[in-house]
A and B are shown apart, each in its own frame.
Chain A
């Protein structure tokens, strides 16, 4: 790894709290201008990693490189480096003063001139849609407004690196959309390097160039959205990214990159066709995203290479979609639009064919190492 080309680099980072290991030997390199989403369940260590990168905490062991500089564990240089970053916390903390003073404080601390401060603060308040809020008491704002103040307060510093910790976790959908729009805008216009922790995979997918999956203190996989969502590296990642169908099986044949995988409990098994290079007798998981499965009343013989007969076990509505559980020798979950569920007259016990392409099946080795 060349630390000169990356904006942030983390090497062998380990950190514990009260005897519990939160980060376990993390390595990560973020390029200048890159938007990186850190996804993972609550308690995986996302916040701790961001806090260490923002130099709010010193790691148990390991190094951090900022713009090629190895960050010292103490001393004045940490403040200088920290001043090149901004951190948006999950729960915005506003200071007990006016909106203007809240947004201006970082600039004042950096010794910026009065006129420049006024100019910049006015500009950023307009950007975040809070013009005219200058003299409002920041503590009387709503959650969404407070988060926009926090965002303005961080952005007005024109940071080279912006760290975001679940910036929309406590917000309603409208406020969330506003914040996401602002973040996307900043990334595009200022080429700011961003690291964003989120448990919302759609948000990660929408805003990030690259995604890292952090589970239980370990970075299990990094890659672009397609890699992560289509080809998770192991079962834990697959579960987290919403691969609801993770089916145990064995490759029985492989014909020029099309593997036949035997799944299900009956001795003969049910054959699933999947694009994969694993050889015969390899124990695997076959992963299928529920939205990649279509349902039909009869056997299909078109582009879909798999058409499995089954019985509907359960239908539940899931917003505009219907979540259908099908028993076809093994349990399969499909997400279909409510309209098509109604057209098919899906009810418990009704017979149906589940169709999916061979390319929609992701095959991964069982007991894959981390």
Chain B
């Protein structure tokens, strides 16, 4: 027990003193997760709008598949991206395995279903009457999509934040295609895992506290957004 208390006090020291290594890892984590989320949303928002506004066969099935992929295990995405980027793989020539770029690709694949699914349901929350009012006021198809996205902005933003949270806290992809290289691809989850196995309890606890704190911030922002409609 004393060991844990000691670890906790040390961890707080690391955080309060802005320990360079801890801060560097935290900053990299935010950067990589942020990039993944940004790129995934650039794909997801137009794609979700397309799925929402177009009528086609198998739409229901497609949405079901997307929703199933919300909970795809991170290690499966990690494995998939690993195979894709490994030297013998189809994209092996890029030589980006064990780089932040590989992590971004993996995290994008991981969170795109969440962004897609939640954006589609956010758009469905905009009433038919609003869509019709805009149509009769002379909105073109594209202008209509922009308006509906704007009407659903809080719900869409909530989707983005949830995706960001998932990218931030996942371990499988970061470990398998990032490789936990110190000063290069080491992020909070991989660093935490390593520190624990090494017995560096104060480091592990410090990272854990920061991760939890970020989760708390995300949750508060989400709650705020869900109260605004």
Contacts and interface: CB of A to CB of B under 8 A. Distances in A.
B147 interface: yes
Contacts of B140: 79, 109
A91 B137 contact: no
A93 B129 CA distance: 7
Interface string A266-282: 00000000000000000
Contacts of A97: 150
A54 interface: yes
B143 A89 contact: no
Interface in B123-138: 127, 129-130, 132-138
A96 interface: yes
Contacts of A259: none
Interface string B120-162: 0000000101101111111110010001001101000000000
Interface residues of B, number: 18
30 contacts: A56-B132, A56-B136, A79-B138, A82-B135, A83-B138, A85-B136, A86-B136, A86-B137, A87-B133, A87-B136, A89-B129, A89-B133, A93-B129, A93-B133, A95-B130, A95-B134, A95-B150, A95-B151, A96-B150, A97-B150, A105-B134, A105-B137, A105-B139, A106-B137, A109-B137, A109-B143, A110-B138, A153-B137, A154-B137, A157-B137
Contact of B138 (A89, A95, A96, A106): A106
Contacts of A56: 132, 135-136
B138 A109 contact: yes
A110 B151 CA distance: 20
Interface of A: 54, 56, 79, 82-83, 85-87, 89, 91, 93, 95-97, 105-106, 109-110, 150, 153-154, 157
A222 B136 CA distance: 27
Contacts of B147: 95, 105
Contacts of B130: 93, 95
A170 to B, nearest CB: 13
Contacts of A91: 129
Nearest to B131: A93
Contacts of A106: 137-138
Contacts of A157: 137-138
* Overall SS of chain B's interface: helix
A312 B11 CA distance: 95
B187 to A, nearest CB: 37
A93 B137 contact: no
B129 A109 contact: no
Nearest to A84: B138
A93 B136 contact: no
Nearest to A163: B136
Contacts of A93: 127, 129-130, 132-133
Contacts of A54: 136
A197 to B, nearest CB: 14
Contacts of B133: 87, 89, 93, 95, 150
Given A89-B129, A109-B143, A96 B137 contact: no
A150 B136 CA distance: 12
Q: Give the residue among B135, B136, B137, B139 with the most A Cβ atoms within 10 A.
A: B137
Most buried by B among A91, A93, A106: A93
A93 B130 CA distance: 6
B150 A109 contact: no
A95 B138 CA distance: 14
Nearest to B139: A109
A173 to B, nearest CB: 25
A61 B128 CA distance: 24
Nearest to A106: B137
Nearest to B144: A109
A110 to B, nearest CB: 6
Given A56-B132, A157-B137, 6 more contacts: A83-B138, A89-B132, A95-B134, A95-B147, A105-B134, A105-B139
Contacts of B136: 54, 56, 82, 85-87
Contacts of B137: 86, 105-106, 109, 153-154, 157
